[in-house]
Structure 1
């Protein structure tokens, strides 16, 4: 095999590129005209090997996993998937087994897990879509994080914000993931997680930007990204772009010109741009992070307006139709054998 790919000394080594895509597809792309086909087109365009979906619904009794695999096959691309609910996984490589690690219940989030055989290297791949209620990132912005009603005043007390945040079930799901992933690591499997966590990163709410994006002076150690970091997991986007001032990496709310603004703005008088979609991985000498991009429009929604980001983030703009109100995260790894 040629060693032209990867910036790795590949003497006597086999190295392949592994593209991982985290993709909230907004009710299977049904909210946006031609959205499902756009999901298919973006998967093909990104040449994604592993895809973590959020908002799999299996509408009208139609198995989304079968639907997406067949749609890709019609365009000449072979993928594997198994039935799931809320979260889903898609792979160019065979799925050995798949489980609902943290099953969805009353719409409080889920994590789906698959063991995937990538040329005899086994990867434990997880897709998360965490509880959307008690979404405490809205409190400093003056909105309730469960009803999205405007509050009488903003909430800047960190203890109060943390308390509200922990009333969600996001931490329960992440703790289940960490425990399972640590067991997989002991079995010498690689671990990659992609998810819409509905919670920001502690790496993004820091002293340097406490007066930006309606943080309103709040510096906060958001629980779940902090816990993941403490247990050794790496935030792929922040590994490549560590500075949230130059590369905020916002993934929500994304502008979508095919959707009325009132369907995109949950806190219309606030700037609630945030990074809530992630790819995490556990370091391993066989897996080298090469690059990360934001897949989606450069535009955002802020204060009930469509705005264009002026950042140094690297965007892969949509082909045509963008199927969702999130932006996706695309990372490129080098996988060494």
Structure 2
């Protein structure tokens, strides 16, 4: 009898999408990447807004950026507070980034530890829809941000400078960050996932644009100043066989730029949302990448206000991109990315 009750409880905790899936429809689950801006502390009511949106969207998995543990163990607090709302998540203590899982975690580890605020990567292992899943959260180094230097803002001090347009020099300076090392650590661990038959998904704020976005088509847009460049982190992931969820579903960079930063926030002065007030700094720096047999992404939407910041001013989205708008308070200066996956 006791064993039966335990089995029933376990079934009740499984994502409903997986239970509903059949051979014809497949099995689905969702992942949300969300930079929550110092865990929601920068906006009045930010923490409650995080809980409210999680309760509404109920993503199966969440990859957070900017977890700070200011008051206590942030992930433990979210799990506890969401349980009060009838939504079960599992997690573990982490710094700078964080993970939530709707399915029991079988293992977790630090892949790139936080040191001097240069970013972090954490991993959990679980099972979803009968498959082994390795889920990573990442927040890469925010310094030596040379995509800002293209726009005339120093990538360390964020003071004005002459726009940097020499590609070799851009890449040389960019390599001074810790982003290369973090992604190298991830790819080494992801190789083990592949060998063990895991689906691998990484979400994160990379603090670096995409090789798929700074192209010939966009060289004279968004203050790119004619620069076409293979940004290293996304290039490395694509070469390793990973797919960018947003670009897989929305390949047209002109109709679907997918900007995630800086996002408009109606409760915050635009001057506090910008790093380059004299530039159009809109970019896509928040991602979900995936790799694995028998998995595909069917939907990928932006999550946040219908607007961005350019030249320190609020500007409309200006595209027909799919976006989930907030219930009320928006807790951050980024947009999130929500993807739906199908497992065959």
Alignment partner, residue 147 of structure 2: 137
298, 308, 311: which is aligned to 1:303? 311
How far is the alpha carbon of 1:288 from its aligned partner? Answer: 2.0
After TM superposition, give the deviation of residue 16 of structure 1 in Å: 2.6
Deviation of 1:280 after TM superposition, in Å, equals 0.2
What is residue 184 of structure 1 aligned with on the other side? 193
- Report if the CA contact (8 A) 2:194-2:292 is conserved: no
Aligned match for 2:279, one of 267, 270, 274 = 270
For residue 45 of structure 1, give the secondary structure of its aligned residue in structure 2: helix
Q: How far apart are 1:262 and its partner, in Å?
A: 2.0
Q: Tell me, in whole angstroms, the C-alpha distance in 2 between the residues paired with 1:202 and 1:312.
A: 22
Structure 1 residue aligned with 2:124: 114
**Corresponding residue for residue 5 of structure 2:** none
Local SS of the residue matching 1:310: coil
1:176 match: secondary structure:
helix
The secondary structure found in structure 2 opposite 1:70 is helix
Is 2:317 aligned against 1:317?
Answer: no
**Matched-pair contact (CA < 8 Å) for 1:94–1:118:** no
Once the two structures are superposed, the pairs formed by residues 79-118 of structure 1 within 5 Å of their partners are 79-118=89-128
1:122-181 Cα distance to aligned partner (Å, 9 max, x none)? 210000000000011101110101110000x21111111111111101010001101100
Q: For 1:330, which of 335, 338, 341 is the aligned residue?
A: 338
CA offsets per residue over residues 306-329 of structure 1, 9 Å max, x none? 111211211111111111000000
Match of 1:77 in 2: 87
Pairwise CA distance, 1:117 = 2.2
CA RMSD of aligned residues (A): 1.5
The alignment status of 1:215 with 2:224, answered yes or no, reads yes
Query: How many equivalent pairs are there?
Result: 326
TM-score by length of 1: 0.94
Q: Identify the residue that residue 245 of structure 1 maps to in structure 2.
A: 254
1:54 pairs with 2:62: no
The CA deviation at 1:119 is 4.8
Per-residue deviation at 1:251? 0.2
Report whether the alignment pairs 1:68 with 2:70. no
Gaps of 5+ in 2: 1-16
CA distance in 1, matches of 2:323, 2:176: 34
- Tell me if 1:227 matches 2:236: yes
Answer whether contact 2:198 2:292 (CA < 8 A) is retained: no
Aligned to 2:7: none
Q: Is the 8 A contact 1:81 1:89 kept in 2?
A: yes
Give a deviation string over 1:28-86, Cα, whole Å, max 9, x none.
101111111111111222220010001111113x1111110011111111111111111
